[in-house]
A and B are shown apart, each in its own frame.
Chain A
Amino acid sequence: MIIPVTSKPRTSKANKTGTWRSGKKPHFIQKECIACRLCVMVCPEGCISGDKRCTYIADYKYCKGCGNCVAVCPVADIEMVKEEWWRETIS
């Protein structure tokens, strides 16, 4: 009997790591952003998207609240905020 421990490409999308957050999430202020894309690069979930200045945003279905983006932003345009009720942010 074999239960495969393999997965096809893109199946990690099914794994909603947003449930891993424990009370805090990054808030993209979108005021000082210089579109350096550092936050995109350091996000372990690859869940930050954006294009021009002040358009960057995280997908909270996958954002696990590690805070890397906050730490790396050169203009402090991302801050960690307390979640109202963390579960509703992943629905």
Chain B
Amino acid sequence: MATSLSRRDRLGTIGARSGFLRNNYKLIPGLYCVGSPGSESPVFVTANYKLSFDALRQELSGIEAWILVVDTRGINIWCAAGKGTFSTAEVAYQVKNAQLDKIVTHREVILPQLGAVGVAALDLKKSCGFRGIFGPVLARDIPKFLQNGKIADEAMRTVTFRLSERAVLVPVEICLLWKPLLIAVMTIFVLSGLGPEIYSFEDAWQRGLAAASTSVLAVIAGAIVTPLLLPWIPGRQFWLKGIQTGLIAGLVAYALFSSEVGRLAGFGLFLWAISTASYLAMNFTGSTPFTSLSGVGHEMRRGLPLQVGAAGLALLCWVAGPFF
């Protein structure tokens, strides 16, 4: 099998990441190989999620190894382990199904460390005879891991969240967003026509554009700028980080549109930008590898009422604007 990625693979990667293809970007589970492995070669376990598989296959170039792809319904290891599809039973099933005991003489499979959320390595031996050992968090460290005699150092065992790792998540966030956002923007367009002359389609269009542009600014602030600048925005709670970037988006929106839509409606736009950016930033907690669910619940109990309140007030200002 080729270990370098072709252009088509990369395109598929973009497709898989951006959400449109995410649900059907699967590989057929089973045993694959890189190079020409023999009965002594190591066996790596991965998800049938194309990105995990590609990362592994690329890092293994020059190494003779087996790759056991288990069925995680095409989602990545971390999410699959959390959802229970990457489980001890599933790995054991694929080990047996591939008749691994006839292919290799050793009795050991190397699991991705993040798969530990779903696979209990010690139970694996009981259910299929193969011992599970945990490899590094990142596939990139596998060559070093093998050189070290299958020992991962602290850095290899620590999950990171670098700028590049955050950047790849941005399109995912946006793609998951576009549906609710489209509904919100359509609603705003319709509401924007309300005014002293009962309903004006010209107003709906003109004011609707201002509101839609503000929404775009808020998305940029909450779902793009906040994730990218995450460690540098003060505060630990994400909704507070989003308020800060949203504040800037809101000020820009006010400066751009308040002369056109009036001060009250302009203030509505300002509030709308802040509440939307704050919510989107808060939603990003789902994509980070360091936020605990308890912590997210904690900040949502504080952030959500304020966001809903501000959005409600924004709507009021927006609808009332033309009457003043």
A and B: partners?
A: no
Task: Give chain B's interface residues, CB within 8 Å of chain A.
Answer: none
Task: Give chain A's interface residues, CB within 8 Å of chain B.
Answer: none
